[in-house]
Amino acid sequence: MPVGGGHRTGRYPGSPRGRGTKRVARTYNVVTYGCQMNVHDSERISGLLEQAGYVRAVPTDDTPDIVVFNTCAVRENADNRLYGNLGRLRPVKDKHPGMQIAVGGCLAQKDRGDIVRKAPWVDVVFGTHNIGALPVLLERARHNAAAEVEILEALDVFPSTLPTRRESTYAGWVSISVGCNNTCTFCIVPALRGKEKDRRPGDILSEVRALVDEGVLEVTLLGQNVNSYGVEFGDRYAFGKLLRACGDIDGLERVRFTSPHPKDFTDDVIAAMAETPNVCHSLHMPLQSGSDDVLRAMRRSYRSERYLGIIEKVRAAMPDAAITTDIIVGFPGETEADFQRTLDVVREARFSSAFTFQYSKRPGTPAATMDDQLPKQVVQERYERLVAAVEEITWAENKRLVGETVEVLVAVGEGRKDERTGRMSGRARDGRLVHFATETADGESLAGQIRPGDIVHTTITYAAPHHLNADGAPVAHRRTRAGDAAEAGRSPRTPGVLLGLPTIGAPPVAPAPAAGCAAH
C-alpha cells in the first residue's frame, strides 16, 4: 500500500502494537480518491493527525498505525475500489494488532454504516461534515475496541478552521466555500456536501496571506461552485471583489480558481481576471454537453449560446486565455444529433484541454433512474470521437505557442519521464504543462540549481496535445522562497482550532515508566 513520507522512530508505551519504554508517535497514511476538494480535505486530515501527535509514515512502511481512506462517490466504481483496498488491508491488520483503519469522504457520507457491515475490520467511519472529529473517533475506537461511525447531516465547523499539512511548498488550495446549491441530475455532491456555505472574505484573505508568508507563490481558490461565492451573505459580486483583493497581497504571484458554473458567471469576474495582474489567464469552466436538450435533462441552467458567449467575452478581455472544460458523453437520452452539437461547441470553443467522461450511473442521482440509458458500445464510440476531436484542437492550440517564451513555476511529479530525459517540469501561467531542458548552451547542467517552486522562463520548441516541450537552455531562472522551502524539506502548515481534540503521541518530557506498567 502506498504511504506518505515521514519519520518513524518506534512505539510509545501503551501502544496496542507493542509495549516498550520508548515514547514515540504513532504513524499514519492517508489515501485519497477524487477531486481537488478531497485532496485539500486530506491535507486537513494530515494536519489534524499531526497536531494530535501522529507522524506520517515513511514510504517504505506498509504497516502504518493508522490508514485513512478519503473517498469519492462521484467516480465510476468508487465503492469497488474502496472495498478492494480494504480487503487487501485486512490480512495486514490481522498480523498487526492495534492497527486502525478509518474511512471518510463522500462515499462514507453516502454508505454510512454499510461500510462497517461490509468490512467489519474498519475502526472508524466519518463523513464530509465532521473531518475534525477523526482523532477523537480513533481514540474512542481504540479505547472501546469497537467501530465508531459518526455521520453528521450538516457542517459542524468550517473545514478551513482545522489545522492543515500542505503537500506543496509553492502552491496551495484555499477553500472559499463548501457545498453546492445546484441540482444537476448526474451529480450526488450536493447530497453529500450539503448546501453552499461561504467563508467571510477576511478569513479567506488571512489564510492566503499566511500561505504567502510561508513562501507559497500560487493559490487556487476552491469551491464546488466557486463563482456563486457570496450567495450566503447576499453579494453576487463577491467573487470578483475577492479576486481583486488577492491582487493586493504582496508576494502572491499567481491566483487560480476552480470550478465556476456558467450560470453564475458575471462580467465583473472577467474584468477582475483581466485587470488583476496576479490572476492567471486560465479558466476551467465545465460544459458537460453542447446540446441544449441534454443540458436541460442534466438540469444545467444555461444553454450552449450562453456558454460560448462567456468564452467570447473572456477572449476579448484576455486573448491569451487558456480555457479548459469537463464533458460528459452518453447521458441518458443523448441522440447522435445531441452528440454532434457537443462536437460543434468543442470546435467553436477551441479548448486548450478537456476532461472527458463516459456517463455511468451513480446510485442516488435522478439520472440513474432515467429512461433511455445508452448502450455501452454507443457511449464508447462517441467518447472515442470526442477525444479525437479534442486532441486535434488542443494540439493545434499548443502549436501556436512554439517559439513563445513562457514563465514556468517548477513543480514536483508533473513529468513522469523527467529523470530519463534530463528535463524538469512545471506549469505556465495559463496552466499548460511544460517540460523544459536544464542544460545551458555550453552544456552546464542546472538541475541541481533549479528547485521546485522556482520560476523559469523558457522558449517552447515542440507541442503535443497535452504538453509543451522547451528543449533549449532556460532564458532565465529566479530562485524563490518556495524553492528554499522545498530544498529545506519544509511543508507549509496552517494552524487551526482543535476544539478539545486529544493528543495521541508521546508526552514531551515525562520519564519512561517502569517495566510492567500500562499506560492509560
Q: What grid cell was written down for 222?
A: 476552491
Q: What grid cell was written down for 84?
A: 478492494
Q: What grid cell was written down for 264?
A: 453564475
Q: Do 288 and 300 touch, CB atoms closer than 8 A? A: yes
What pairs with residue 254 in β-bridges? 218
**Closest CA relative to residue 168, chosen from 494, 486, 487:** 486
CA distances from 32 to 106, 147, 382 (A): 11, 21, 30
**Closest CA relative to residue 279, chosen from 329, 228, 314, 235:** 314
CA distances from 103 to 39, 125, 147, 400 (A): 15, 5, 11, 46
Buried b (16+ CB within 10 A) or exposed e, 307-338: bbebbebbbeebeebbbbbebbbbbbbbeeeb
The cell 455511468 sits on which residue?
360
Taking CA 72 as the corner, what is the angle to CA 126 and CA 39, rounded to the nearest 5 degrees? 85
387 DSSP assignment: H
Taking CA 183 as the corner, what is the angle to CA 153 and CA 311, rounded to the nearest 5 degrees? 130
SS3 content of the chain, % helix, strand, coil (to 5): 35, 20, 45
User: Cα separation of 419 and 162, whole Å?
Assistant: 37
The verdict on whether residue 517 carries a ligand-binding annotation is: no
The verdict on whether residue 246 carries a ligand-binding annotation is: no
Cα 55 to the center of its chain, rounded Å: 22
Rounded to the nearest 10 degrees, what angle do helices 238-246 and 267-275 cross at? 0
**Closest CA relative to residue 1, chosen from 74, 77, 96:** 96
Binding-site annotation, residues:
35, 72, 106, 180, 184, 187
Binding-site annotation, residues for [4Fe-4S] cluster:
35, 72, 106, 180, 184, 187
